[in-house]
């Protein structure tokens, strides 16, 4: 059993290990690195759209994940460049429905905002008190 006091979060952590060849500090570092990997996998599951891996070799899985990360970063950059109020998920949904549409991206993302304003206007029209 290894106890580690984290000064950053003022927290006492307790780790169990059967590796008696490394120091307590090294075990704490290993768990910290392992936790970073877990956080990364959680981010992948929440943000990348990977429904099925196409190949089962190490190279195929790496290519698939890197392609998904690149697509996510391109959409994130596009969101930043267009200063869009949409989330990255919403932008990906818009792009998936209009993949073969020739509308420029700037127009594509502002048309939806105009439709949203129409819905708000319709809601106000029906709530008029006479």
Angle between helices 105-126 and 88-97 (to 10 degrees): 100
Domain extent, residue 40, equals 1-47
CB 53 within 8 A of CB 60: yes
**Would the pLDDT of 15 be above 90?**
no
Residues 72 and 40 occupy one common structural domain: no
Q: How many domains does the chain have?
A: 2
pLDDT tens for residues 33-62?
A: 888 999 988 988 888 878 788 888 999 989
What is the average pLDDT across 108-123?
A: 55
Residues 60 and 124 occupy one common structural domain: yes
pLDDT tens for residues 57-112?
A: 999 989 999 999 999 999 999 989 888 888 888 888 888 888 888 888 888 876 55
Q: Can you tell me which residue has the tokens 């891996």?
A: 53
Residues 39 and 55 occupy one common structural domain: no
R_g (Cα) of the chain, nearest Å: 24
**Would the pLDDT of 121 be above 60?**
no
Please list, in sequence order, all residues whose beta carbon lies within 8 angstroms of the beta carbon of residue 42, skipping any fewer than 6 positions away.
Answer: none
Residues 68 and 115 occupy one common structural domain: yes
Average pLDDT, the chain: 80
Q: Is the pTM of this model over 0.85?
A: no
pLDDT at position 130, please?
Answer: 46
């Amino acid at each position: 059993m290894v106890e580690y006091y984290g000064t950053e979060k003022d927290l006492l952590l307790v780790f169990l290990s059967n590796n008696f060849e490394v120091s307590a500090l090294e075990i704490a570092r290993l768990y910290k690195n392992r936790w970073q990997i877990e956080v990364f996998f959680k981010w992948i599951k929440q943000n990348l759209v990977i429904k099925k891996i196409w190949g089962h070799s190490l190279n195929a899985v790496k290519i698939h994940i890197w392609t998904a990360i690149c697509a996510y970063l391109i959409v994130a950059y596009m969101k930043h460049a267009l200063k869009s109020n949409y989330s990255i998920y919403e932008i990906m949904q818009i792009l998936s429905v209009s993949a073969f549409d020739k509308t420029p991206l700037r127009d594509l993302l502002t048309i939806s905002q105009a439709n949203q304003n129409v819905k708000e206007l319709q809601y106000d029209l029906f709530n008029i008190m006479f």
